[in-house]
């Protein structure tokens, strides 16, 4: 029933707003923007109306089909990720015309909801499928039925919304001139507190949103709403791109080694006796420590502005007792902006957990 209501809401957009704008045209200052407003919502509407709604109705008589349905169409549901990546741009345009042009259309069509209320429906819907599947999983578990397929379906419908949320954040990134879709999968994103030392040797804490793609790391600054931005977003600051897959793997290995060192350091502080016992056992088995591979010479940031080679940057962990990672001055390296002499990273979410 809720799926049918959802399809009806999508119909208000496609057969209402989009059809009317196509037939009557749009204002001169909005030409070319209408495609950004709606993204790929026509594709989503057609699939749900012509196929998915009917398949869900069959599941009423055959509940066992439900899990298979979501597993089978995991790749098809990727169209929601595309929609969500475009959503921030859509919101920006809609906000410009919501009280003028789109309000007039709303009155003409006799709609109760505003356009922005309808355009958020796909985002809300893709988040709700996992709740439906979790309810079924709970019922199957209590009934002692096989839950393997349902568990897989729940996993799928947790991954897809996460990708949607991730790409909505990426869609809010402003000022990046590269092609986001060419950077591979988004692996991680989080907000970090960065301490930069200025010319007067005073440290200033700043927030940076960091996006880790397969091919690129992007550093951005959260937009202050007081500066006139009505929607949350991020201003591109700089990026780092490895010159080859081998360089990327070497750097990942080095970072992993540093994180392992930090983890061991914290374990030693929290449980020194247990830590010494494990270390003694490991050493008795002949464990050898391999030095990390240095691949800084192959690092190539995204931009072409040169780093000041007389000021070698030093990346430090937030805990000053831990070793620093120095970037050697030899080898080609470039950056969008001047790299600070010293940067300290502290994962904000990690600090909250403590």
Q: Residue 101 has what pLDDT?
A: 94
DSSP of 27-64, one letter per residue? -GGGTTTHHHHHTTHHHHHHHIIIIIHHHHHHHHH-TT
pLDDT of 28-77, one tens digit each?
Answer: 888 888 899 999 999 999 999 999 999 999 998 898 899 999 999 999 99
Q: Residue 284 has what pLDDT?
A: 64
Nearest alpha carbon to residue 160 among 87, 48, 79: 79
Low-confidence ranges of the chain (pLDDT < 70): 196-203, 224-232, 234, 236-243, 282-354
Q: Kindly report the CATH number that applies to the domain delimited by 2-171.
A: 1.20.900.10
pTM over 0.85: no
Nearest alpha carbon to residue 196 among 208, 185, 210: 208
Q: Residue 202 has what pLDDT?
A: 66
Q: Residue 45 has what pLDDT?
A: 98
Distance in angstroms between the alpha carbons of the first and the last residue of the chain: 44
Separation CA 28–CA 24 (nearest Å): 12
Burial class of residue 82 in the structure, from the number of CB atoms within 10 Å of its CB (0-12 exposed, 13-18 middle, 19+ buried): middle
Could you tell me the two tokens for 282?
């490991």
Q: Residue 47 has what pLDDT?
A: 97
Q: Residue 253 has what pLDDT?
A: 78
**CA distance readout (Å), 276 to 257, 290, 319:** 19, 20, 21
Q: Residue 340 has what pLDDT?
A: 34
Please give the mean pLDDT across all residues of the chain: 76
For the chain, the structural domain boundaries read 2-171, 183-353
pLDDT of 318-331, one tens digit each?
Answer: 333 333 333 333 33
Q: Residue 1 has what pLDDT?
A: 83
């Amino acid at each position: 029933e809720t799926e049918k209501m959802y399809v009806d809401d999508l119909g208000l957009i496609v057969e209402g707003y989009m059809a009317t704008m196509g037939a009557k045209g749009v204002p001169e200052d909005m030409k070319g923007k209408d495609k950004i407003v709606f993204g790929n919502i026509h594709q989503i509407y057609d699939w749900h109306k012509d196929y998915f709604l009917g398949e869900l109705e069959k599941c009423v008589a055959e509940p066992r089909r439900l899990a298979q349905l979501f597993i089978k169409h995991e790749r098809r549901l990727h169209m929601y990720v595309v929609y969500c990546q475009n959503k921030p741009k859509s919101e920006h345009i809609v906000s410009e015309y919501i009280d003028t042009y789109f309000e007039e259309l709303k009155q003409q069509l006799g709609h109760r909801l505003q356009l922005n209320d309808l355009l958020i429906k796909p985002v809300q819907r893709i988040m709700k499928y996992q709740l439906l599947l979790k309810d079924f999983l709970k019922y199957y578990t209590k009934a002692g039925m096989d839950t393997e397929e349902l568990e897989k379906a729940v996993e799928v419908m947790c991954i897809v919304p996460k990708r949607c949320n991730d790409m909505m954040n990426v869609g809010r990134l402003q000022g990046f001139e590269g092609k986001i879709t060419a950077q591979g999968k988004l692996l991680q994103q989080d907000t970090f507190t960065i301490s930069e030392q200025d010319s007067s040797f005073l440290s200033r804490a700043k927030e940076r949103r960091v996006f880790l793609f397969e091919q690129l790391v992007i550093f951005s600054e959260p937009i202050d709403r007081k500066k006139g931005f009505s929607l949350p977003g991020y201003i591109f600051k700089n990026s780092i791109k490895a010159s080859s897959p081998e360089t990327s793997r070497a750097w990942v290995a080095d970072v992993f080694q540093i994180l392992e060192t930090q983890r061991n350091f914290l374990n030693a502080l929290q449980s020194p006796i247990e830590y010494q016992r494990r270390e003694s056992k490991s050493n008795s088995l002949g464990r050898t420590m391999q030095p990390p591979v240095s691949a800084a010479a192959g690092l190539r940031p995204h931009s072409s502005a040169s780093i000041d080679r007389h000021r070698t940057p030093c990346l430090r962990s937030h805990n000053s007792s831990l070793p620093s990672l120095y970037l050697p001055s030899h080898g080609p390296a470039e950056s969008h902006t001047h790299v600070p002499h010293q940067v300290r990273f502290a994962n904000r979410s990690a600090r909250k957990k403590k």
